[in-house]
Amino acid sequence: MKQYIVLLRSNRNYRFLWLGSVITQLGDWFNLLASAQLITGLSGSGIAVSYLFLARFVPLFVFSPVAGVLADRFNRRHIMIFTDLLRAGTVLSLLLINSPSRIWLLYLLTITQFSLSALFTPARTAVLSNVVERQDLVTANALDSLTWSTMLALGAFLGGIVAAVLGIAAAFVMDAFTFVFSAWCISRIVVLEYQRETEAPAQERGWLTFVGGFRYLLGVPFVMGVSLAKGAGSLVWGAINVLEINYADKIFPINDLKWFDRLHIESGASVTLGIVYVISGLGTGIGPIFLRRIFGDAYHRMLWAVAVGFVLLSGGILGLSISPSLGIFSFATLVRTVGSGVVWVFSAALLQMLVPDSLRGRVFAFEFAVLTLTQSISTYLAGFFQDNLGLSVRQTTAIFGITGLVMSALWLIFMGFHSKQAKQLEEQGGIAI
């Protein structure tokens, strides 16, 4: 942990970037639990919850090409501040939803919020390489993952309690405040970026500006493969977002604790979900740290770390499908999230090391677009399998566990073709051009 403390102490810019993430990620989980509880209470439909997640994911896919172009053309810091402030206002508007007739407004505002997130995320991911030295990129990504997981654990647990005790409105207000705080933190960052051209070449304007980034990926298959890693993982783990709610509500609700009556908590589903998210936070936090000690930062060894991540992800999900108790379910969740955290951190660090800065925004936008597309597909199928095909939550979970094994095999095949190239790039000091 010492290296993470040193990075925060020595790098003022990263410290503010990290601090903004801490508070917004805390609020994100308040928002998710409150939204899930609201939509479940207003509709009582499994597919309605899937639609909620689709409203969060689809805008990320649709707007990612534009976001990548903006991140490579304009000031990334200004983009993040602007979108943070707009997201604060959007989240506050969720307070208007108080009846089943306004469910449409929840979806509309969620789409708006995550359209803005689509602009924010590639800019933040790309700017990380502008505020952190190359030798610290794995450390910074691992710390980001640890932060995300810690806020997942804390935010999910507190979010469940706040939504149950103080009400859904309080959770939304707190989330809005986090975006304002993040905007202030980002305003304190001084980013030394490369000189941007105000005009793109005539052959690469508008949509073709994004196509130029895609053309780069086609010309470097190794980088293309790495950029698809998160998408392959999200095709597997995306469904778990929906399925965990079903497990908490129908299979493992905690309803027999005496202090429920004292706090006037009517259902233990939110508390169960909070506990599951706490375990998820631990898994995504310790996974990258532990595997980095084993595999290190060399490109070809990082590819092996991602492979191990896929295997753990798949095994954990299969474990969820056969868990007889909340304890076993929690352990399977730990295994699953260790895997997903490793895939996320090591693939991101590889891209930040491999991609030239002038193309980084578009490459991360492409990665983000694929991620959200596959996550949307996975999320929709989770609800579809249950509502339309009559599969149980356990059967649906098993299907995605098997899908994870297929992704593991495909990654190993990819490694077989490109591990030699990874070693060569490492020896050359590494930007893939």
Lookup: tokens for 408: 């593991």
Secondary structure (3-state) at 299:
helix
Q: Is 360 exposed, middle or buried (0-12, 13-18, 19+ CB in 10 A)?
A: buried
Weakly modelled stretches of the chain, pLDDT under 50: 195-208, 259-267
Long-range contacts of 133-136 (CB under 8 A, 24+ apart): 134/353, 136/7, 136/11
Query: Cα separation of 11 and 7, whole Å?
Result: 6
Give 37's contacts (C-beta < 8 A, 6+ positions apart).
Answer: 163, 168, 270
The pLDDT assigned to 264 comes to: 44
| pTM, rounded to two decimals | 0.74
The pLDDT assigned to 402 comes to: 95
Taking the alpha carbons of 295, 370, 195, 128 in that order, is the dihedral positive or negative? negative
> If you ran DSSP here, which 8-state letter would residue 204 be given?
G
Query: Cα separation of 155 and 153, whole Å?
Result: 6
The pLDDT assigned to 76 comes to: 85
Q: Which residue has the tokens 């502008």?
A: 130
Amino acid at 28: D
Query: Cα separation of 306 and 361, whole Å?
Result: 22
The pLDDT assigned to 259 comes to: 45
The pLDDT assigned to 16 comes to: 92
Domains and CATH numbers, the chain: 2-189+207-428 (1.20.1250.20)
Nearest CA to 94 out of 55, 121, 57, 63 is that of 55
The pLDDT assigned to 265 comes to: 46
The pLDDT assigned to 217 comes to: 84
pLDDT in tens, 217-232: 888 888 899 999 999 9
The number of residues making up the chain comes to: 433
The pLDDT assigned to 150 comes to: 74
Q: Which residue has the tokens 């392959």?
A: 232
The pLDDT assigned to 430 comes to: 57
